[in-house]
Structure 1
Amino acid sequence: MKPKISIIVPIYNVENYLSRCLDSLLTQDYEDFEVIAINDGSTDNSLTILQEYAEKDHRICIIDKENNGVSSARNDGLSQAKGEYIGFVDPDDWVEPQVYKDMLKIAEEDQIDIVMCSYIREFGTHSKEKTFAFPERSNYFNDEVHKKILRRLVGPLNEEVANPELLDAWGTVWSKLYRAEVIKNNNLQFIDLSEIGSNEDTLFNIHACYYAKSFVFLNKPYYHYWRANNTSITSKHNPNLVSQFGKLYTRMENFLNEKNFGENYKIALSNRISLSTIGLGLNTINSKNTLTFTRRLKEVKKLLNNNMIKKSLQNFEISYCSFIWRMFFFLAKSRATLLIYIMLESIEFARKRLR
């Protein structure tokens, strides 16, 4: 008998966190689901832990494969998913007991294609809820899914640019429950990170929301996002990130052109590119970047002179930003390399204090 929900968990070297994740799934208030656990060539005890859990609970299905990255692992999970609905959980995270029961109820009773919840960031020593200035429940149907959700995934408009920290808060796949037909009927897949560097989930969601006819945002923090994992891909320095993001934005631009989206979407993408100056700059000054200070400074200068970024910054409206961010983007527009470098160091210090 087919399960109602397939939960896809890509796994690579997370022996310290995996039991916490699996326990949170297997103690759900709702039981009619399968966990598709993809061991992506782990070299630690992750596979052994998976096998021990699978022996005790038949709902766990293990795919053991050579390491090929999180996108490939999720795609393998999608190919094996039997459920009417599909969810994703990262193996160092965990979920509240009622998450799938509550999200499925909304999806089934109101015929919703995608249901999204909010989440809590876990830093090891403390927790911090990701706040969304929305009511407890927001419903979007037909064209609204494009105008309110897909466009937001592409990038921010007007006052939305004032909160750079929300740029990708809507793009995560692990905060959502999808009707499987939306994914499978349109052959949706994750793009390999070796090509686009990051945001593979945002790109996936842009395509999913293009085909979805309904979307509900449930402003309840059911998901716990673990930020204290220093071995995760998001905590590492990536020397190729600028060129990879160029390919990501080209994919987004091509999609907008192919589907004949209007000017607002193109402005939103340009704003995303401008805001990405922050993340790309932080990647450059990352403490795991072994380059000398002088070389890092040259990399920041190169970033600010990148044609795509320079063009987007020229058109970026800073009036909606707070004083600090107005200063940052004014300096970025002016390509004041040293001052931008100093601000990036200050931002990184503040982020570490938050963690």
Structure 2
Amino acid sequence: MQPKISIIVPIYNREKELARCLQSLLKQTFKEIEIILINDGSTDDSVELIHHYAEKDERIVVINQNNKGVSIARNQGLLMAKGKYVGFVDSDDWVELTMYERLFQIAEEREADVVMCSYVREFLGGSKEKQLSEQKIIHLQGKQVQTNLLRRLIGPIRHELGQPEMLDAWGTVWSKLYRRDVLRISQATFVNLDEIGTNEDTLFNMQVLTCAQSFVFYNQPFYHYWRGNDKSVTAIHKSNLLVKWRCLFQHIERIVNDRCRQEVVYQYALQNRISMSVLGLGLNEIYAKNRTHDKKIKKIKRILHDEQIQRALKTLDFRHFTCIWKLFFFCAKYKFSTFFYIMLHGVEMMRKRKGGRDELGANTSSTSRYDYESRWT
């Protein structure tokens, strides 16, 4: 059977959650699928589970590789994919049984290159739907895909600046179904996190959307994003994140220059992304263990004195921020390191009170959740 949808699942040490994920895929009402499982060097019982399910269902394709990270694993899956469409699922998440039937139907009916659904964040103590839009369905066609969605992924402008926490909310890959021809034409691949630190999903989507001619958002929460006991989990500090994010910005700038005809609005959006990166970079520093307050402030001072960040902050329009965010970015712009450090702790307290990093730390994150990666999305 030639599959119509290829579902790519990278796996690294997920023995506790993997069965739930695979059962939700194998029970899909849409049967013409292949499930590509990439074992990324797991050292737990994930390997046994993978082969147990593969023996039971011929739709499962297994790839074993040494531990190379989620980006390389997904790229291997893309090379193996045979379906007309491609989807991604993280191995600790699960999906509604009708998800791929409905997304496939929408893609065919509307001739969409990318279809996206909403999702639910799942905690040990309950669940919370991510509110992306009040509209039931959004259909972007032609140039609208670039001027609306691609530009939004590159960076916020105008009223979007008032919601720093929503910077990368539309950038996930696991809530989408992609036409494989568009992935091929755009030559989209996942960049290694060792190079860019985070945001591999958003960068992948930027590549895809430069070539997409039709995008549909269907406001139905088909995807379940497992956060576990995330309200009490301590965030992981990432070393050299400033250096890696400079590389991330270079990748985005290359997309702007090569594929967006260097239009001013895209350049401006990128500068806003760079400005707002002080939130993620700052939070990353306060998460550093075994470091005194003075040393953390010194690290933050280095961030606020970065030439690229300061150039971007000079162009940042403060009018759309709430009072708290105005003060926050004012401290960043004028390099008030100690006050900025205090405000970061306030942001972190708000994040915990609101129930997880989605609320205030979305723009700091990788959307992948291997044990060695941050879970800030």
Q: TM class by shorter-chain length?
A: over 0.9
| CA-to-aligned-CA distance 1:303-325 (integer Å, 9 cap, x gap) | 11111111111111111011211
CA distance in 2 between counterparts of 1:312 and 1:24 reads: 44
CA distance in 2 between counterparts of 1:107 and 1:339 reads: 49
1:268 partnered with 2:295: no
Q: How does 1:202-217 map to 2 (within 5 A)?
A: 202-217=202-217
| CA-to-aligned-CA distance 1:122-178 (integer Å, 9 cap, x gap) | 222122211123411011111011101110110111000111111111111111000
Kindly indicate whether the alpha-carbon contact (under 8 Å) linking 2:186 and 2:207 is maintained by their aligned counterparts in 1.
Answer: no
1:102 partnered with 2:102: yes
Tell me what 1:67 maps to: 67
Q: Secondary structure at the match of 1:319?
A: helix
| CA-to-aligned-CA distance 1:213-234 (integer Å, 9 cap, x gap) | 110011111111122377xxx9
CA distance in 2 between counterparts of 1:306 and 1:149 reads: 29
Tell me what 1:337 maps to: 337
Kindly indicate whether the alpha-carbon contact (under 8 Å) linking 2:117 and 2:223 is maintained by their aligned counterparts in 1.
Answer: yes
Q: Secondary structure at the match of 1:216?
A: strand
Tell me what 1:154 maps to: 154
| Residue correspondences, number | 352
Kindly indicate whether the alpha-carbon contact (under 8 Å) linking 2:185 and 2:211 is maintained by their aligned counterparts in 1.
Answer: no
CA distance in 2 between counterparts of 1:319 and 1:22 reads: 47
Tell me what 2:163 maps to: 163
| CA-to-aligned-CA distance 1:172-200 (integer Å, 9 cap, x gap) | 11110000111123332111111111111
Length-normalised TM-score, structure 1 = 0.96
CA distance in 1 between counterparts of 2:105 and 2:290 reads: 50
CA distance in 2 between counterparts of 1:331 and 1:235 reads: 24
Tell me what 1:15 maps to: 15
Kindly indicate whether the alpha-carbon contact (under 8 Å) linking 2:132 and 2:169 is maintained by their aligned counterparts in 1.
Answer: no
Counterpart code for 1:160: E
RMSD, aligned CA:
1.6
1:251 partnered with 2:213: no
1:191 partnered with 2:179: no
Deviation, structure 1 residue 235: 4.0
CA distance in 1 between counterparts of 2:184 and 2:291 reads: 44
Length-normalised TM-score, structure 2 = 0.90
CA distance in 1 between counterparts of 2:223 and 2:70 reads: 19
CA distance in 1 between counterparts of 2:257 and 2:222 reads: 36
CA distance in 1 between counterparts of 2:302 and 2:122 reads: 34
Q: How does 1:71-82 map to 2 (within 5 A)?
A: 71-82=71-82
Q: Secondary structure at the match of 1:280?
A: helix
Give the stretch that moved more between structures: 9-18 or 253-262.
253-262
Kindly indicate whether the alpha-carbon contact (under 8 Å) linking 2:19 and 2:49 is maintained by their aligned counterparts in 1.
Answer: yes
Unaligned runs of 5+ in 2: 357-377
Counterpart code for 1:49: L
Tell me what 2:26 maps to: 26
Unaligned runs of 5+ in 1: none
Runs of 4+ with deviation above 4 angstroms:
none
Q: 1:180 to 1:235 in 2, by over 3 A?
A: farther
Counterpart code for 1:317: D
Q: Secondary structure at the match of 1:91?
A: coil
